[in-house]
Chains A and B, each alone.
Chain A
Amino acid sequence: MTYEERREEFKARIDGGEKIEAGDWMPDEYRQAALKFIEMHANSEIMGCLPEREWIPRAPTLKRKLSLTAKVQDEAGHAQILYRVAEDLGKSREQMFDDLVNGRTKFHNVFHYPTESWGDVAVIGWLIDGAALVTQKALLDCSYAPYVRAMRRICAEESLHLRHGEDLTLELVSGTDEQRQMFQDAVNRWWRPIMHFFGPPSKPDKDVLLYWGIKTKSNEELRQEFFTTYVPKLWDVGISVPDPELGFDEERGEWNWSDPGWDDFWQVVKGNGPRTKDRLDRRKAIWDNHAWVREVFAGIPHAA
């Protein structure tokens, strides 16, 4: 059988709803697309620890400190699970980390921004984790079986994180005027990065991830789902969204939304976000400081 014939047979398996296992034959473009996507997801989980980690020492109560610590621990665990899935697609964890800390691979745009108040922690916990959950739930039907198994585990924990985020939000929106304003300010600052999180409207027929069933929904479908789930809840507690156009169009059955401008997004994609350098430096310092752990695991004795 020629490569093209095997490729067609493989595509037919995916179109027929079959799942692909790590040991199965797969075309190079499928392997590359799945690896790039899962590696980026793993990078985002490990980099996503950093903005929230900054608030652990400043959490307002012991309970909040413990719950935020547990959440950050979960996110680091997700990265471990996902790097292992990516490794089976042919790239070592060391190489993935080296590429991450040297800016050769990407992580999600929302983790390139500063966290300025406790309100930001609530926005990350509720709206950004909510946006992530919308995208991650869609991956439960992905064509790559090891990734699906990882996502089952991750989605269960992300649902818990969402509860944590809702709880933080509720405390602020039902609190003093200052607390409500703190949350409103955070929503105002984070709305554009959240719109960017879903990516620009894409052409589904040109999306290689959709073609191979690695992603199952387009950027726009996911963004619309996010609006439907979260915007009414924000409005119901009197929190506005900084988009005068945002509203549901009954006739089209879709939300109207304003183009948020994509310059910031492309700057972040190029590695020029407001906190990109600090966060990568921090991640590299942690990687370097923990080299001894990897050496112990590898059975290399300590230098005398």
Chain B
Amino acid sequence: MHVWDVLARRREGDDWQVSGSVNAPDLEMAMLLVRETHFRHGEGKTYAVRRRGDEAIHERPDPTGIGGVIDRAYRRQDGYVGVGAKLRKVHELMAERGMVIDRPRPAARRSREAAHG
């Protein structure tokens, strides 16, 4: 088993950035494992691996398809768009029904800042 360092290009024109490593017996398996563990959500334009101790960088020959099945809403942040607005709506509903719990809390702005920190 060998250690392969994972190199990523997040955007077109970026330099390679080390983003982790995988254990794999050969290059083909290293490429497959990197796709599954580091790029499953389509993080980046392309990637490469370099066997630890070697100089040679092996770039994924065809970067299309990185991210696997990302047409599924539950694999992407935007699959849950509107959750914040829905939460506020439930808050308003609960306020109308007198069910909001009114206990000492930080000022609203500070609470929002921490939430988005």
Interface string of A191-214 (1 = CB under 8 A from B): 000000000000000000000000
Cβ B37 vs Cβ A149 within 8 A: no
Identify the stretch in A35-43, A103-111, A153-161, A266-274 within 8 Å (CB) of chain B at 4 or more residues. Answer: A153-161
Cβ A237 vs Cβ B74 within 8 A: no
Q: Does A114 contact B (CB under 8 A)?
A: no
Q: Does B9 contact A (CB under 8 A)?
A: no
A71 to B31, CA, bound (A): 22
Interface string of A70-85 (1 = CB under 8 A from B): 1001100100110011
Name the distance in Å between B33's Cβ and chain A's nearest Cβ.
8
Between A and B, how many residue pairs show CB distances below 8 Å? 128
* B contact patch SS: mixed
Interface string of B88-116 (1 = CB under 8 A from A): 01110110010111111110001100110
Partner of B110, one of A84, A150, A152, A228: A228
Partner of A174, one of B3, B22, B93, B101: B93
Q: Does A137 contact B (CB under 8 A)?
A: yes
Q: Which residues of A contact B103 (CB under 8 A)?
A: 235, 246-247
Count B interface residues, CB 8 Å: 46
Q: Does A240 contact B (CB under 8 A)?
A: yes
Q: Does B36 contact A (CB under 8 A)?
A: yes
Q: Which residues of B contact A248 (CB under 8 A)?
A: 104-106
Cβ B105 vs Cβ A160 within 8 A: no
Q: Which residues of A contact B104 (CB under 8 A)?
A: 247-250
Q: Which of B40, B43, B94 gathers most chain A CB within 10 Å?
A: B94
Interface string of B59-90 (1 = CB under 8 A from A): 00000000000001011110110010011011
Q: Does B41 contact A (CB under 8 A)?
A: yes
User: What are 12 residue pairs bridging A and B, where the CB atoms are less than 8 Å apart in the complex?
Assistant: A74-B40, A150-B20, A167-B80, A170-B83, A174-B86, A174-B93, A229-B114, A235-B100, A235-B101, A238-B99, A249-B104, A298-B1
